[in-house]
Amino acid sequence: MDWGTDLWDQYDIIDKHTQSGLELVEKYVKFVKERTEIEQNYAKQLRNLTKKYNPKRGCREEQECRFSNHQSFLDILNEMNDYAGQRELIAENMMMNICIELTKYLQELKMERKTHLSEAKKAQQSLESTYKQLDSSKKRFEREWREADKAAQYAEKTDQDINATKADVEKKLQDMDERRVRKLAQGYVLFSDTERHVMPIIGKCLEGVTKAGTNVNERNDSIALIEQYKSGFERPGDLDFEDYSQGINRASSDSSLGTLGTPKGPLELLGKNRSKPFWLFSKKSKLSPSSLTPLSTPPAPSPANGPPSPKFGRDPLSYCLKEINKTVKPRISSFRTLGRTPTVTEDFGHLPPEQRRKRLQQKLDNIGKELQKEVDQSEALEKMKDVYEKNPQMGDPASLSPQINQTAQNMERLRGELNKYESWLTEAGRRGDSMLRRDTLREDALSYRSHSNNNEPYSPDGTHSEEGTPDPSQAIYAEFDDDFEEEEEELAAPIGQCTAMYNFPGSASEGTITMQEGEVLSVVEEDKGDGWTRVRRANGNEGYIPTSYVSISISK
């Protein structure tokens, strides 16, 4: 993978990336300069400090130097003076080995980058000149029939793929940037080695800086840039130039026109209007809808035995060349339409195919996480509502209705967005694991909806308040399912243990159990966000206890 092949249409990105790399080197040099100034000031202050506290000749302190404590203080001052010299050495080495070297190398990189950009501009100008020469060769081909062979050779010479030259320039820019990254990595290592030679005590800290420098991988940086900005469009192919000097008749002229009118891929976007300058690296380009429409079908040939078409007149060659100009020229569009700022749409249709699939998949993952969060919150609210209904003194069940309704609305909205983005992802060509995730979320949503329907009020005569009389068999199956779920809950294996920190007076009618301080219980179900944990005693009794009253340890 290289920039010339994978980033052929991202010239502006390469330009900005190389410029930001040079700015990073300048920033690093400035950082080291400020560090050397700090070291020099620090060393100067240390020398002034030692000079200030050194005893003067003839004073009483000099006479007291024969005492060990005074002599030790003088030794400390001498060591601090030597320490200041080492700090000056650090500043000098950093200035010589890092600042000066990187500054010279930075100037070389700037000149090299300027040269490469100049070559890219020349390649663009050569491309424009090639198309102008191609147009003039067509006119000369009409005038100079006898020199058609020479004109065909000239057209073949000028009909060379300029993308190869442009790819070489971009490869050179890539090589320059990788050498810049490698040189910068060497600067990182040199930054740590300089101080390690004079300060062995702080070597462990500087090893981290060395590791940061050696972790730089210029190849991975180049590949990461490709993965981030790869558009997915195919590279343009060669431009065909038909030689019409070989026997002209009505049928061959029509077939030749049809051949020229066949789209060749992205190259048909080159030069829609020859009166406008062509700029391959332009920022102001946008894919025009007209450039994507198929070319018009050539007219059907005359019957084999019928008279020739009056449009030919007496000069079939002139007629064919006029038809070529009218048919081919309007359909050569310019690369100017590739770089204009597109309108941002909700389905990411303004992005290239590869980037669009990534953005749609990322959007689906985010919506799936939000929907799963809403489903968990809905289950927690329903559980809290059941606790409030069994134990009214803990809260009013009606107060949870607005939150339950809001959660249901959020779930419906997220399902709609999930369906919408999945359809767009299907159009983009990759459905992936999002379909499996969607089925899982739908099952959770359906189980939540059925649970909500079971909690709807019924009239005293046994009829549903909204839906009418239910099927008796459905009621029997629902009752059987409830019993089966209760048996499953009783047989559920514990997932951990908890120790009671306080006494709790439980009530069997409310679904809670009594526990004493220090009692060890088995955890059957974790707290779902409502503040209650389901536990089991050794004798098999189960119930809910406040989560804040116990210390829980979950088994892995």
Answer whether residue 173 shows pLDDT above 50.
yes
pLDDT band at 208 (very low <50, low <70, confident <90, very high): confident
What is the pLDDT, as a whole number, of residue 453? 46
CB 312 within 8 A of CB 254: no
> What distances in angstroms separate CA 554 from CA 422, 494, 497, one per listed residue?
37, 9, 6
Task: For residue 80, give Cα distances in angstroms to 11, 37, 53, 126, 279.
Answer: 56, 19, 11, 67, 66
pLDDT at 408: 93
Using the predicted structure, report yes or no on whether residue 114 has a pLDDT greater than 80: yes
Q: What mean pLDDT do residues 488-506 have? A: 79
CA-based angle 259:264:269, to the nearest 5?
115
Residues 270-282: what's their mean pLDDT?
Answer: 40
The token pair at 339 is 């770089």
| Cα–Cα distance for residue pair 89/256, rounded to 1 Å | 79
Burial status of residue 228 (CB atoms within 10 A of its CB: 0-12, 13-18, 19 or more):
exposed
The pLDDT value recorded for residue 123 is: 86
Cα 45 to Cα 240: distance, rounded to the nearest angstrom: 77
Q: What residue type is assigned to position 75 of the chain? A: D
Taking 3-state DSSP, the helix, strand and coil percentages for the chain, each rounded to the nearest 5, stand at: 65, 5, 30
Phi (first) and psi of residue 514, to 5 degrees = -85, 145
Q: What percent of the chain has pLDDT over 70?
A: 63
Is pLDDT of 99 > 80? yes
Q: What is the mean pLDDT of residues 483-512?
A: 74
Distance between CA atoms of residues 10 and 173, nearest Å: 13
More confident: 312 or 523: 523
Interval 293-312: pLDDT, tens? 333 334 444 433 444 444 44
Long-range contacts of 529-538 (CB under 8 A, 24+ apart): 529/376, 529/377, 529/380, 530/380, 530/383, 530/384, 530/387, 532/383, 532/387, 533/498, 535/498, 536/494, 537/513
Other CB atoms within a 10 A radius of the CB of residue 288 amount to 16
Give the tens place of pLDDT for each residue, 398-411: 888 899 999 999 99
pLDDT of residue 507: 79
Is residue 423 within 8 A of residue 416, CB to CB? The reply is no
E strand map for 44-125: none
Task: Name the amino acid, one letter, at 218.
Answer: E
Q: Which one is predicted more confidently, 357 or 25? A: 25
Q: What is the pLDDT of residue 195?
A: 73
pLDDT for residue 343 is more than 80: no
Task: Assess whether pLDDT exceeds 90 at residue 228.
Answer: no
pLDDT at 269: 37
Q: Which helix (H) or strand (E) holds 552?
A: strand 550-554
Relative to beta strand 550-554, strand 532-536 is: unpaired
pLDDT digit string, tens, across residues 234-264: 777 776 666 666 554 444 444 444 433 333 3
Which residue type is seen at 436?
L
| Mean pLDDT over the full length of the chain | 73
Q: At residue 263, what are phi and psi to the nearest 5 degrees?
A: -65, 140
| Most confident residue range from 278-292, 477-491, 522-536 | 522-536
* pLDDT given for residue 359 in this prediction: 86
Q: Which residue has the higher pLDDT, 139 or 370?
A: 370
| pLDDT band with cut points at 50, 70 and 90 for residue 321 | low
Euclidean distance between CA atoms 384 and 400, whole angstroms? 8
pLDDT at 405: 93
pLDDT of 18 higher than 70: yes
Q: How far is residue 468 from each of residues 190, 446, 457, 464, 505, measured CA to CA in Å?
A: 83, 21, 12, 5, 43
Residues 6+ apart with CB under 8 A from 487: none
pLDDT for 54:
83
| Residue 116 pLDDT > 80 | yes
Query: Of the ranges 215-219, 452-456, 520-524, which one carries the lowest mean pLDDT score?
Result: 452-456
**According to the model, what pLDDT value does residue 171 have?**
85
Q: Which residue has the higher pLDDT, 467 or 529?
A: 529
pLDDT above 70 for 544: yes
- How far apart (Å, rounded) are the C-alpha atoms in residues 234 and 419? 30
Asked if 174 and 2 touch (Cβ cutoff 8 Å), the reply is: yes
More confident position, 296 or 505: 505
Q: Which is higher by pLDDT, 435 or 247?
A: 247
Mean pLDDT comparison of 3-12, 192-201, 339-348, 403-412, highest-scoring range: 403-412
Split at pLDDT 50, 70, 90, the class of 29 is very high
Kind plus residue range of the DSSP H or E element containing 546: strand 542-546
Mean pLDDT value across residues 174-203: 85
Is it the case that residue 551 has pLDDT exceeding 80? yes
Do residues 92 and 35 lie in contact, with contact meaning Cβ atoms separated by under 8 Å? no
**% residues pLDDT > 90 (the chain):** 24
Range with top average pLDDT, 318-327, 372-381, 420-429: 372-381
Does residue 480 or residue 368 have the better pLDDT? 368
Q: Please say if the pLDDT value at position 6 is more than 80.
A: yes
Q: Mean pLDDT, to the nearest integer, of 306-326?
A: 48
Contacts of 271 (CB under 8 A, 6+ apart): 131, 278, 332, 333, 334
Edge-first strand listing for the sheet containing 520-525 = 542-546, 532-536, 520-525, 496-500, 550-554
Distances (CA, A) of 279 to 131, 197, 263, 538, 545: 12, 54, 21, 81, 74
Phi, psi dihedrals of residue 285, rounded to the nearest 5°: -135, 145
Q: Which of 32-46, 168-182, 281-295, 419-433 has the lowest mean pLDDT?
A: 281-295
Distance separating alpha carbons of residues 162 and 278, to the nearest angstrom: 13
Rounded CA gap, 379 and 404, in Å?
9
Q: Does the pLDDT value for residue 48 go beyond 90?
A: yes
Mean pLDDT, rounded, for 464-486: 43
- Residue 306 is predicted with a pLDDT of 42
Q: How far apart are the first and last CA of the chain?
A: 44
The residues that bridge with 520 in the sheet, in sequence order, are: 499
Asked if 137 and 155 count as a contact pair (C-beta separation under 8 A), the reply is: yes
